[in-house]
Amino acid sequence: MLTKNILINKFIRIFCIILLLLILIISSMPNKVSATASNSIANNTADNNELSEFEKYPGYVDLLKKLKEAHPNWTFEILKTNLDWNTVIKAESTGYHGRNVVPKSWDGCWKCTCGKVVDASWVCASSSTVAYYMDPRNSLSEDYVFQFEKLTFGNHTDEELALLQKGVEAIIADCNYLQGKITYHDSEGNVKNIDKTYSQVIMEAAKDNNVSPYHLASRMRQEQGSGNGTYLITGTYKDYEGLYNYFNVGAFGSTTENIIKNGLTTAKNNGWTDPEKAIKGGASVINSNYIKGGQDTLYLEKFDVVGDTLYSFQYMTNVSASKEEGKQVYNAYKKSGMITEDSKVVFKIPVYENMPAMASTKPGSEKFVTEDVQINTDKVQAKEGKGTSFKTIATLSKDTKLLRIELDQVKDSEGKYWDKVVLSDGKKAYIMREYLTKLSIQTNCDEAYVVSANTNFRNGPGVTATTIYELLKKGTKITVVEKGKYKSVDGEEWYRVKTADGTYGYVGTGYIKKEVIEGNNAVTTTSDYKVESTNLITKPDTTIETIKKHLNNAVIKNADKKEQKSGKIATGWTITSGTETYTIIVKGDVNGDGKVNTGDTLAMSQHIEAFKKITNANYLKSADVNEDGKVNTGDSLALRQHVENFKSIELK
């Protein structure tokens, strides 16, 4: 009996122990699950916090999330440019023709209708081309995102340095001029050697100047090409023997010969008498001129959208350069095994204000038109983008008339074409083509006008989401065929006009005017002045006598409304020609005294530094010397250069 009780007690103790263990295991399981869930939530929260600032800008977050999922240790910093998207595209394209270029061999849709040839092989890029390459959303994929990589060198282990050098060698693999140890020609034509490989020198230049070695390698490849490179790195160009310029610093000009000579003159001035000096010297220029100034990505070196020198301080004109170099960097990282789930890379992604809902499309995927159409059924939805999944911005009834400005060239997944139309308020939207019936061109007038200042001729009203057909030069005669329909689109009224060749399109009313005839003369534009809306804008030091060469019967009055017969004109004066009266704006005459001198530079500096603001609207227009719609350091520089007789102010 005792034995039996002992066994029973023993069994009970074992059972209790097992039960206790089970309770402990069960009680611990929720904690383990909670901990895992907590970690997951923490990671998601961290990702969401990092990307939250991008949520205001359409199309960014989903693309960045995909990159983040594949590479958890990649970091995406937002660069808020605070620039209006349409203003940026205008400045980088039609604002200065030739600022961005494409190869002459590319199809017409990639090229600007201005036809400007920059040199034998490059021509001005179209606005749609510039928008396509500048839109960051078109490059937020693994193979193109590296144009946004921050270009500083950073700290690396010996193992990482070895991998970086292998990556450099991968980038320059097809560049014959960057292979093996350095051999070069001196100024006497003698062959010299440096006991270093090109990849070693690139690594040293990168470390010395705190610049990514991949950036230096890909930039040289971009500038000199593959194969044997250009005359800028041979050391044998006549009269410039023993000089080298691997980064094409200062290499500009209208002809190939001018480009080479200017580049080699820069090399001479900097003492770049062998490849090592040229590579390290060029790296120093990139660092001091770009990286230190905030242009610390390939994208920002190509597109100057930071700082005070907007759009002007750009390393190259090839519009696709930063995207192409970004791809080269990606390939180098990949070949050297440096792209893994654990790799750490910091990217600086720019955003702009008022960006379109969809990423800018590749040129050639639409056909640009100016057509009137009519809705052929009831309750047709106008969408924000191409597809039923996009937000509906209007529901239109049968027989509603619209303007169509783009014909879709690619069907969606359901086999539908989505054409771009303009709604009555000037907003752009997309509608399935099957719901649109083409009409004849609608007109409500037939009036002769003249272009009063160079302006863009567009397929629809507004600068937002429209396409430029061509640049209409001042003095071009046009016919206005429709008024009053788009009274305020992007801050301006737009007329439908017809050009001499019968093409229909739109221009802003601030750039056109009815001709005012005086004898055989019309108040349009000359090399001395131009008419924009109610202003007659002149160069500095323009005289009444000069104006009257063009307009014999014009009456010019000063600020006190007294007629003036001779002498220099001043900002704020008026000129009456026929039935029209214009306010005179003398570029640079900021204080309205008719002179452009240090008094004006002082007034502008005080305005820019917010010490004493210019409040007179006419004086502000005069202060906008470069005509970009702002008064800033760019205008101040142009004004100083004029006053110091370095570079005269001219009309645009």
The pLDDT confidence band at residue 13, using thresholds 50, 70 and 90, is low
Q: Under a CB-based contact definition with an 8 Å cutoff, are residues 510 and 533 in contact?
A: yes
> Could you give phi then psi for residue 177, rounded to 5 degrees?
-75, -5
Integer Cα distance of 214 and 219 in angstroms: 8
CA distance 484 to 191: 74
Query: Is the C-alpha dihedral spanning 461, 464, 467, 469 positive or negative?
Result: positive
| Interacting residues of 167 by C-beta distance below 8 A, sequence separation 6+ | 213, 214, 217, 332, 333, 335, 336, 338
- Of 306, 360, 354, give the one whose Cα is nearest residue 137: 360
Q: What is the DSSP string of 413-472?
A: TTS--EEEEE-TTS-EEEEEGGGEEEEPPP-S--EEEEE-S-EEEESSSSSTT--EEEEE
Cα separation, 206 vs 590, in Å, equals 46
- For 552-597, write each residue's pLDDT tens digit: 678 999 999 999 989 999 999 999 877 778 899 999 999 999 999 9
Task: Work out the pLDDT band at 386, boundaries 50, 70, 90.
Answer: confident
pLDDT at 231 over 50: yes
Q: How confident is the model at residue 43 (pLDDT cuts 50, 70, 90)?
A: very low
Q: Are strands 436-439 and 392-396 parallel, antiparallel or unpaired?
A: unpaired
Let me know: does 330 contact 380? Beta carbons within 8 Å.
no
Per-residue model confidence as pLDDT tens digits over 178-220: 999 999 999 999 999 999 999 999 999 999 999 989 889 988 9
Does 379 have pLDDT greater than 50? yes
pLDDT value of residue 6:
46
b/e sequence 353-368, b meaning 16+ C-beta within 10 Å: eebbebbbbebeebeb
Q: What angle do CA 568, 572, 575 make, to 5 degrees?
A: 70
Is residue 235 helix, strand or coil? coil
pLDDT at residue 240 greater than cutoff 60? yes
> What integer pLDDT is reported at residue 621 of this predicted model?
92
pLDDT at residue number 1: 41
* Over residues 478-506, mean pLDDT: 92
pLDDT tens-digit series, residues 255-270 = 888 899 999 999 999 9
CA gap 99, 116 in Å, rounded: 11
- Read off the pLDDT band of 380 (50, 70, 90): very high
pLDDT of residue 2: 36
The answer regarding whether domain 366-439 maps to CATH 2.30.30.140 reads no
At 604 the three-state DSSP class reads: helix
Q: At what angle do helices 598-608 and 633-643 cross, to 10 degrees?
A: 170
> What DSSP letter does each residue of 151-182 carry, written as one string?
-------HHHHHHHHHHHHHHTTTBGGGSSEE
Q: What is the pLDDT of residue 235?
A: 96
Instruction: Please state, rounded to an integer, the average pLDDT across all residues of the chain.
Output: 86
For 447-515, CATH number out of 2.40.240.10, 3.90.1150.10, 2.30.30.40, 2.40.50.140 equals: 2.30.30.40
Q: What is the pLDDT of residue 15?
A: 54
3-state secondary structure of 48: helix
Alpha helices in 308-442 (DSSP H): 321-335
Least confident residue range of 139-148, 199-208, 596-605 = 596-605
Distance CA 264, CA 494 (A): 50
User: Residue ranges of the domains in the chain?
Assistant: 78-353, 366-439, 447-515, 527-643
Per-residue pLDDT at 490 exceeds 60:
yes
Is pLDDT above 90 for 508? yes
Cβ–Cβ under 8 Å, residues 616 and 572: yes
pLDDT above 60: residue 36: no
Residue 501 CB-half CA count within 13 A = 5
pLDDT, one tens digit per residue, over 435-460 is 999 999 999 998 889 898 888 899 99
The mean pLDDT value for 331-349 works out to 82
Query: In angstroms, rounded to a whole number, what is the distance separating the alpha carbons of residues 232 and 435?
Result: 59
If you average pLDDT over residues 285-291, what whole number do you get? 87
**pLDDT reported for residue 57:** 94
Q: Which long-range contacts (CB under 8 A, 24 or more apart) does 389-395 make?
A: 390/357, 390/430, 391/357, 393/423, 393/427, 393/429, 394/423, 394/427, 394/429
pLDDT of res. 514: 77
| Residue located via tokens 């005069």 | 622
Q: Is the pLDDT of residue 46 over 80?
A: no
pTM: 0.54
Mean pLDDT of 3-12: 49
Q: How confident is the model at residue 70 (pLDDT cuts 50, 70, 90)?
A: very high
Q: What is the mean pLDDT of residues 610-623?
A: 89
What percent of the chain stands above pLDDT 70? 90
The pLDDT confidence band at residue 424, using thresholds 50, 70 and 90, is very high
- Judged against a pLDDT cut of 50, whether residue 47 lies above it is answered with yes
- 167 pLDDT more than 80: yes
- Whether 554 and 519 have beta carbons less than 8 Å apart is answered as no
Type and span of the H or E element at 24: helix 2-51
Length of the chain, in residues = 652
The top-level CATH class assigned to 527-643 is: mainly alpha
- At residue 413, the 3 state secondary structure works out as coil
CB 575 within 8 A of CB 555: yes
Mean pLDDT value across residues 302-328: 90
Judged against a pLDDT cut of 60, whether residue 648 lies above it is answered with yes
Vertex 233: Cα angle to 230 and 236 (nearest 5): 95
Pairwise CA distance, residues 233 & 228, whole Å = 9
């909670």: which residue's tokens?
34
Mean pLDDT, to the nearest integer, of 366-382?
93
pLDDT of residue 234: 96
- Which residue type, as a one-letter code, is found at position 636? S
Helices (H), 52-175: 60-70, 85-92, 127-134, 158-171
pLDDT at 558: 93
Closest Cα partner for 383 from 359, 415, 358?
A: 358
- What is the side-by-side strand order in the sheet with 117-119? 101-103, 122-124, 117-119
Nearest to 222 by CA among 133, 326, 83: 326
- Asked if residues 197 and 180 have their Cβ atoms less than 8 Å apart, the reply is yes
Residue 395 pLDDT greater than 90, yes or no: yes
User: Which pLDDT does position 238 carry in this prediction?
Assistant: 94
**pLDDT at residue 485 above 80?**
yes
Asked if domains 447-515 and 527-643 share a fold, the reply is no
Question: How big, in percent rounded to 5, are the helix, strand and coil portions of the chain?
Answer: 35, 25, 40
Residue pair 608/632 in contact (Cβ under 8 Å)? The answer is: yes
Given a cut of 80, whether residue 75 has pLDDT beyond it is: yes
Q: What is the mean pLDDT of residues 470-489?
A: 90
